Every structure is written in C-alpha cells, then in structure tokens.
Amino acid sequence: MLSGGRVGLRARHDEDIPVLYAELYEDVPGQARALGTPWRPIAPGSANGQFVVDDTNPHVNHFSVVELDGGALVGTAALWGIDVHNRSAHVGLGLLPAARGKGYSTDVVSVLCHYGFVVRGLQRLQVETLSDNVAMLRAAERNGFVREGELRSSAWVMGTFMNQVLLGLLAHEWQPDAQG
C-alpha cells in the first residue's frame, strides 16, 4: 500500500466494487460529471463495470483509497492514459459522498504524485477537471499543479456544455511536502 498523511492507496479488492458501484456509479449526475462520456446503466457485478480492475492494461493503474486510521474505503483513484514513451499520465479520483470535504483529495493527489514520479519514473502528470470542480482544482494546486489552460465548452454534462481546466505538474517541479 502507498501511504499519505491520512489515506492509503491499495489494490482494488472484490469487496470494494459493490460499495464503489452503489455510492459512486449510481450517482448519475456525479458520474456524468466524472466520466466524460454519457452515463449508462450497468448491472451490479458486471464484468464491464468501471470499478472492475484489468491488471493486464499497462495504461492504467487503479487504486482503492482507504483511511489509514481504520482502513475504511473512502474512494477510488487512478493514474490513467499512462504513456511510457513520453513518461506522462493523467490523475483521477473519486471520493464516496461521506468522505468529501475532509481534505482527502489533496492527500490522494499527493500519493498519486509520489507513485507517478518516484515509483513509475514519469516526467509529467496532468489533471483535467470541470471548471466548477473546486475541490479537485484546490487538491491539484496544493500539490503544485499549474493551470495550463481552459477548454471552453468542451464537456457535455447533463444537457449543458461546460469548460474544462487543464493542469500539469512536471517531476522537477514536484515538492512532496508542499501541500498547503
């Protein structure tokens, strides 16, 4: 397990999947904002569910996020779009509703940065998020990510176009203890 100050990132366990499905996937407005594709119904236990991990895919590393104090599941995190040639990846996370607003996002992003830069030897990490996702913007910026641009009306979310913000962090810019 990779540990931060308050959370750990570990492999996805089978018992995590029903919780993530019920609390994250079945939240249609939340998933429509997070997926970047239209939400579609997927039966619980489906082999095609987004929380089922394919350990053979070299372009994504999925984690379950757990509290260090007690081990309770609080969400999911991933490095995705991993490009080994250009040594880059994208950062993503989703916290269960009860875990939001507790500062876990900043810690999750920090641990993903450690994993990406130290463990995987990547050069660049990137975040794309909706412009009104204050929690993700704050978590990324507290970890040193820099706003590189805003893509106007680039995301179709539940009947309206929204802007997306692009943030990046390079390995030499990363300061592991710089969370603010």
Phi–psi pair at 124, nearest 5 degrees = -145, 135
Phi–psi pair at 145, nearest 5 degrees = -65, 145
Angle at which helix 104-114 crosses helix 134-142, to 10 degrees, equals 50
What is the pLDDT tens value at each position of the chain, 180 positions in all? 999 999 999 999 999 999 999 999 888 888 888 887 888 888 877 776 778 887 888 999 999 999 999 999 999 999 999 999 999 999 999 999 999 999 999 999 999 999 999 999 999 999 999 999 999 999 999 999 999 999 999 999 999 999 999 999 999 999 987 654
- In the chain, at which residue ranges do the beta strands (DSSP E only) sit? 2-3, 7-10, 60-67, 73-83, 88-95, 124-130, 146-157, 160-170
Q: Residues, the chain, total?
A: 180
Spatial strand order of the sheet with 160-170 comes to: 2-3, 7-10, 60-67, 73-83, 88-95, 124-130, 160-170, 146-157
Q: What is the pLDDT of residue 48?
A: 65
Q: What is the pLDDT of residue 55?
A: 83
Q: What is the pLDDT of residue 129?
A: 97
Q: Which fold has domain 2-173?
A: Aminopeptidase (3.40.630)
Q: What ranges do the domains of the chain cover?
A: 2-173
Cα distance between residue 34 and residue 100, in whole Å: 15
What pTM does this model have? 0.93
Phi–psi pair at 24, nearest 5 degrees = -110, -55
Cα distance between residue 53 and residue 20, in whole Å: 12
Q: Which residues of 115-138 are buried (b: 16+ CB within 10 A; e: fewer)?
A: bbbeeeebebbbbbbbeebebbbe
Instruction: Specify the 3-state DSSP secondary structure of 46.
Output: coil
Cα distance between residue 65 and residue 7, in whole Å: 7
**CB-based burial of residue 93 (10 Å sphere; 0-12 exposed, 13-18 middle, 19+ buried)?**
buried
